[in-house]
Amino acid sequence: MFETLLAEADGAIGSITLNCPEKLNPLSILALQELAAAARFFDERSEVKIVVVKGKGRAFSAGADLSSFTQKTNLSSREVAEIGRQMADAIEGMRALAIAQIQGWCVGGGLVLAAACDLRIASEDARFSIPEVDLGIPLAWGGIPRLVREIGPAMTKELVLTCRPFDAAEAKSVGFVNRVVLKEELDSTVAELAESLSHKAPLALMATKRHVNAVTDQMVGTMRSWSDADGLALALHDEECAEARRKYLVERSKKP
């Protein structure tokens, strides 16, 4: 069904696996569209209670594939900028509970994808980064309100503005991930959690998810994030922002 990911269902448990490991599972326009489609795929399967979201290989996701966002398409600049938010809303809005299984790098848009999930389990080797400001673009896709919801406004400002990487231990300490486990225990830990939850009454699971999301949406207003596409669309075509991206990529290329 998909080019960039795998979507599979086995009874009450499903999975969405980003499937471009050689490139660390980047989020191209197509990948974002397919993630949203995968969420709809599971919404059509009432027997699925839990969906594990993960990346194949040594990383969860290297984040947005910016080259795909500047290519010519039949979509307007704003429509292109909206695709990421639509993805995050679709994952968060799934009837099933979503568990992010995070190993290796979880960067930028990949972090927004993880934030759209209901629970997050990380291996001890997980590393997080939000490099958008260094790339001359604002964090979009509803990332700001989701981060404020999970880690608070002050830490959101620090991590987004400084662009500094942080490890799994810090992610746990600020409340972004629920658990940190040994690398070799990540698969089994997530599988055990998914199996445990899959035996619970679906109505109770869905009601709890909806209730928590409704309360937190009143606090941070994720539905208002539709407007962040305007800032992203502008930044992708602003020359000063483009120069920041060029500088960032040059500096990265010099690092061992």
Q: Which residue has the higher pLDDT, 110 or 69?
A: 110
pLDDT, average across residues 140-151: 94
Domain-embedded: residue 173? yes
pLDDT, average across residues 84-112: 97
Assigned token pair, 145: 């309100």
DSSP secondary structure letters along 16-35: EEE--GGGT-EE-HHHHHHH
Q: What pLDDT, on the 0 to 100 scale, is given for residue 224?
A: 59
CB 213 within 8 A of CB 92: yes
Lowest average pLDDT, out of 75-84, 163-172, 224-233, 247-256, goes to 224-233
Q: What pLDDT, on the 0 to 100 scale, is given for residue 233?
A: 74
pLDDT, average across residues 141-152: 94
pLDDT digits (tens, 9 = 90+) for 190-213: 999 999 999 999 999 999 999 999
Q: What pLDDT, on the 0 to 100 scale, is given for residue 207?
A: 96
Q: What pLDDT, on the 0 to 100 scale, is given for residue 221?
A: 67
pLDDT, average across residues 165-175: 98
Q: What pLDDT, on the 0 to 100 scale, is given for residue 256?
A: 59
Q: What pLDDT, on the 0 to 100 scale, is given for residue 197?
A: 98
Q: Which residue has the higher pLDDT, 102 or 228?
A: 102
Domain-embedded: residue 54? yes
Phi then psi dihedrals of residue 208, to 5 deg: -65, -45
pLDDT tops 90 at residue 248: no
User: What pTM was computed for the model?
Assistant: 0.91
Domain-embedded: residue 82? yes
pLDDT tops 90 at residue 76: no
Domain-embedded: residue 33? yes
Q: What pLDDT, on the 0 to 100 scale, is given for residue 23?
A: 95
pLDDT digits (tens, 9 = 90+) for 1-13: 899 999 999 999 9
Number of domains in the chain: 1
What integer best gives the mean pLDDT of the chain? Answer: 92
pLDDT digits (tens, 9 = 90+) for 30-54: 999 999 999 999 999 999 999 999 9
Domain-embedded: residue 94? yes
- Sign (positive/negative) of CA torsion 44, 177, 4, 88? positive
DSSP secondary structure letters along the chain: --SSEEEEEETTEEEEEE--GGGT-EE-HHHHHHHHHHHHHHHT-TT--EEEEEESSS-SB-EE-HHHHSS--SS-HHHHHHHHHHHHHHHHT-SSEEEEEE-SEEETHHHHHHHHSSEEEEETT-EEE--TTTTTS---TTHHHHHHHHH-HHHHHHHHHH---EEHHHHHHTTS-SEEE-GGGHHHHHHHHHHHHHTS-HHHHHHHHHHHHHHHHHHH-GGGGGGHHHHHHHHHH-HHHHHHHHHHHHHHHH--
CATH number at residue 58: 3.90.226.10
Q: pLDDT-derived band of residue 226, with 50, 70 and 90 as boundaries?
A: low
Q: pLDDT-derived band of residue 75, with 50, 70 and 90 as boundaries?
A: confident
Residue 183 neighbours by CB distance under 10 Å = 14
Q: Which residue has the tokens 């995070």?
A: 102
The dihedral formed by the CA atoms of 78, 84, 86 and 92, expressed in degrees to the nearest 10: -160
Domain-embedded: residue 202? no
Q: Which one, of 90, 109, 110, 108, lies nearest residue 100 by Cα?
A: 110
Domain-embedded: residue 16? yes
Domain-embedded: residue 131? yes
Q: What pLDDT, on the 0 to 100 scale, is given for residue 9?
A: 96
Structural domain that includes position 112: 5-186
Q: What pLDDT, on the 0 to 100 scale, is given for residue 12?
A: 98
